[in-house]
Amino acid sequence: MAKSKTVYFCKECGFESGKWLGQCPGCKQWDSFVEEPVIKKSKSFSGGNVRLQASEPTKLSNVTTSEDQRIQTGIEEFDRVLGGGIVIGSLVLVGGDPGIGKSTLLLQMCKNLVEKQHSILYISGEESLKQIKMRAERLGAFTGELLLLSETNLDIIEETIKKLSPEVVIIDSIQTMYKEEIGSAPGSVSQVRETTGTLMHLAKGLGVSIFIVGHVTKEGVVAGPRVLEHMVDTVLYFEGENQASYRILRGVKNRFGSTNEIGVFEMRSSGLVEVLNPSEYMLQGKPEGESGSIVACSIEGTRPILVEVQALVCQTNFNMPRRTAAGTDYNRVNLLMAVIEKRLGIQMSSCDAYINVAGGMKINEPALDLGIVISLISSYKNRAVDSKTIVFGEVGLTGEVRAVNQAEQRVIEAAKMGFEVCILPQANKEVIKDSKIKLVGVRNIREAINII
């Protein structure tokens, strides 16, 4: 018998090779190649000189556009991240750590949609029908009829979708689905790629909106080839610590709306509850009159969010000072400490420094720089900052405070939360014409420290 041909795929990026390689040439990852059998493609025509009919090019001016039809999920935070609702015929990937609440969120969405008489098919390859029923009972009574299917064979799933023609389909999860003609195990590179391709054709061909649940690796990315994220229309990540009560739904790719939009939820025994005012939620428990604490404003997508930046600076007992950053970029903190030492003459090199964005949010926006600088100096000098003061601004290597985007929305959010003074870049202050709170513009960190 002829030996079956196999090829090697990179688990990270899907790079294909005829032999095993220690390092992937595409993504430079080590030991990421796995052996998979070659998928035999069926020929669409028999041999001979057959000429395929090519589609004709169309002028851009002749292409007509219409507003995407959307289905409201009944969850305002979910609709915000999707860009206004579910687009008909879209393919959405929802990723997140195990137990973070992906299935719970999608089941709550199904509950709201069936109440509006939408036809929904929930397909689970990990849970039995009784397990889904038990989870649904915790969310409350379902007034509509939700169709359930416990199946992992994609050929059966495909026939079921074509037969029922539902409006929305949930696939939980993509790593458990398989196609019989592919010899590899479920969750392998070949299976994930081919099953996603089949689901994409179903979504576009039948006009069915399909949600795919994807597990993530220890690095926090969806398991399987990277091409999976390129094939789908929208990629959503469900983030949050298992010990914390809140969850953040973040859109990292969206062909039908803005990216980097977030939705905030609180996990309760009865399911996920929307947090309509994240700023108020994040500032709960903020200490009064303590050094090393300052409120800064960040923009997530189109939404301003106020967060508390905490710093603890103390003399080190070791030859090499310790640096720790939670919720922000570690290298950025080291850079800002070097700027403080050089431009302000404060000896940070002999101190341990710990930075924390309270609430567990992860923010890498440069507008947080000024808040980090002020919190570090406040802790170093053991002087508290007025609790009614808020700051934002990007700090450069020469100590200058640069302008940031959407400054007016940040000021409006600060005024709404009861703050009285806002320290911001001078360039932003000149643009803002009217404000309900006092605006103080600064050109460099020395001016900001003198004002504080």
Is 171 annotated as belonging to a binding site? no
Q: How far apart are the first and last CA of the chain?
A: 81
Does residue 274 contact residue 268 with C-beta atoms inside 8 Å?
A: no
DSSP element (H, E) containing 113: helix 102-115
Is 98 annotated as belonging to a binding site? yes
In the Cβ-directed half-sphere of 318, how many Cα atoms lie within 13 Å?
Answer: 6
Which of 444, 299, 298, 310 is CA-nearest to residue 385? 310
In the Cβ-directed half-sphere of 230, how many Cα atoms lie within 13 Å?
Answer: 8
Is 25 annotated as belonging to a binding site? no
Local structure of 139: helix, strand or coil: helix
What count of other Cβ atoms lies within 10 Å of the Cβ of residue 325?
Answer: 17
Does residue 452 contact residue 401 with C-beta atoms inside 8 Å?
A: no
**Beta strands at 209-215 and 168-172: parallel, antiparallel or unpaired:** parallel
What is the b/e burial string over 45-71, where b = at least 16 CB atoms within 10 angstroms of the residue's CB?
eeeeeeeeeeeeeeeeeeeeeeebebb
Alpha-carbon distance 142 to 120, whole Å?
A: 12
Is 292 annotated as belonging to a binding site? no
DSSP 225: -
Is 99 annotated as belonging to a binding site? yes
In the Cβ-directed half-sphere of 135, how many Cα atoms lie within 13 Å?
Answer: 21
Is 432 annotated as belonging to a binding site? no
Tokens representing residue 117 in the block: 């008489």
Phi and psi dihedrals of 142, rounded to 5?
Answer: -90, 115
Is 40 annotated as belonging to a binding site? no
Is 207 annotated as belonging to a binding site? no
Which of 272, 285, 451 is CA-nearest to residue 378? 451
- Which residues are documented as binding site for ATP? 96-103
- Which residues are documented as binding site? 96-103
